[in-house]
Structure 1
């Protein structure tokens, strides 16, 4: 167990170093989501949503979309490239266990996601005067979100024939998450079937937990009512349940689809 933890930390350090040295990857992982956040705030034009300024509403929900870039897209590219270069095969044949390899990738992605959320926190405080009301909820949302999207990335990498196709294979999920996530609007404004789909997306519970954790209010039901710490956790239980369900489904998909060796044919 201790050995696996050490291997996971070592692999995470390598991942962070490699992304930090790659200007394109660093822009896509770290800066592009912040640029999208700025664009969403410009679209709101200062209108109030659920009783809070539009800028605060959007910015506190953007971490859900950040996960698709800093974790999902980043790791689909990484897993696929390493598989084709036989890096995963060598890792599988060495000391790190499969769990350590996955945990190392997740930990490296978590570093970038946390950095994004911290930068976003400064942005929200500077422009909206908001400080996080429930930091533990932000942490739980980050951990569950990274777990879900790491496993989804592992599954999608198995469907991706080569590194060149990685940017294409992620597009369907990226479009669904971008359009369906309640970042710039509450999910309850969508027509019935679309609202159900939006609420079941893995990104939606993360958006709701992040927004409620920042603002200290009920943004799970869309009421915007101020809640105490205990009330926030009670309101978050359905979202946590959905994320745990996604972790179970994503783990099964990753186990079934993930490949350690290059695809043939």
Structure 2
């Protein structure tokens, strides 16, 4: 790689970092959103470990719930990215950025980096709680967990950017984000057991954006195939094989988000 290419790459990275810092500043100005995004995932983890003496597919329910709560950070990253995009668009920040030397890829990468860093902090807090409160074991398959986390971040980032064009202002952004959040949680079985839903609703829940990511995380962490009712134990390589369907569903949702971004994303304020 030439010296000029290296300088260009370092410059791009510094611009991405600057954009991520801008996103953090915007989020901290919206204190209600900041509180929700930073603390609610940990609260949901606590709520889902209350039945630690019960077992689910041979796994203590507290551990099962706490590991599943790791995936909850992704709908919250959707809220973070969507609200930040709408605020910057309506305040004409994007309009000024588009007139600068900042490339479009750096703008979006900064959005995703900001949400991913917040998600990493949330996951660390949930893991620390799970290990201390319900004696959760160490993850069985760390590479597959990393794949699941990258997939979850990409799915909800693509959906956030793809739906931001429909949202006229920040107040509506919160209203739009909440159904996405609660729909994801219900579909992934965090709000109520999926067995309580009708058969057709269970089939729909299996293909919602959060469900495949949560299934992959549980398979990677606990070493079981949670795509089956009995959740049999699986080996290291077998865990990748049984997660292929979940990976495919996640990639389809990324495609939906990218298509929507290309068709509906707006740089200028909707009121202009």
TM-score scaled by length of structure 2: 0.88
Q: Which residue is equivalent to 1:56?
A: 63
Q: 1:184 to 1:55 in 2, by over 3 A?
A: farther
3-state SS, counterpart of residue 10 of structure 1: helix
The reply to whether residue 245 of structure 1 matches residue 261 of structure 2 is no
Q: Per-residue CA shift, 1:15-35, capped at 9, x if unaligned?
A: 235545765443211111111
Q: Which residue is equivalent to 1:226?
A: 233
Q: Per-residue CA shift, 1:167-223, capped at 9, x if unaligned?
A: 112232223112111336665674331121111011001111111121121112232
RMSD of equivalent CA atoms: 2.1
Q: 1:198 to 1:163 in 2, by over 3 A?
A: same
Q: Which residue is equivalent to 1:108?
A: 114
| Contact 1:187/1:199 (8 A) holds in 2 | no
| Contact 1:188/1:222 (8 A) holds in 2 | no
Q: Which residue is equivalent to 1:133?
A: 140
Larger radius of gyration: 2
Q: Which residue is equivalent to 2:20?
A: 12
3-state SS, counterpart of residue 170 of structure 1: helix
| Contact 1:8/1:101 (8 A) holds in 2 | yes
Q: 1:222 to 1:89 in 2, by over 3 A?
A: farther
1:19-58 equivalence runs, <5 A: 19=27, 23-42=31-50, 44=51, 46-58=53-65
- Show structure 1 runs of 4+ deviating over 6 A: none
| Contact 2:86/2:167 (8 A) holds in 1 | yes
Q: 1:221 to 1:190 in 2, by over 3 A?
A: farther
3-state SS, counterpart of residue 227 of structure 1: coil
1:172 maps to which of 179, 185, 209: 179
Return the alpha-carbon distance in structure 1 between the equivalents of residues 251 and 263 of structure 2: 19
Q: Which runs of 5 or more structure 2 residues have no equivalent in the other structure?
A: 1-7
Q: Which residue is equivalent to 1:196?
A: 203
Return the alpha-carbon distance in structure 2 between the equivalents of residues 182 and 105 of structure 1: 28
Q: Which runs of 5 or more structure 1 residues have no equivalent in the other structure?
A: none
Return the alpha-carbon distance in structure 2 between the equivalents of residues 148 and 74 of structure 1: 14
| Contact 1:37/1:59 (8 A) holds in 2 | yes
2:129 maps to which of 123, 130, 134: 123
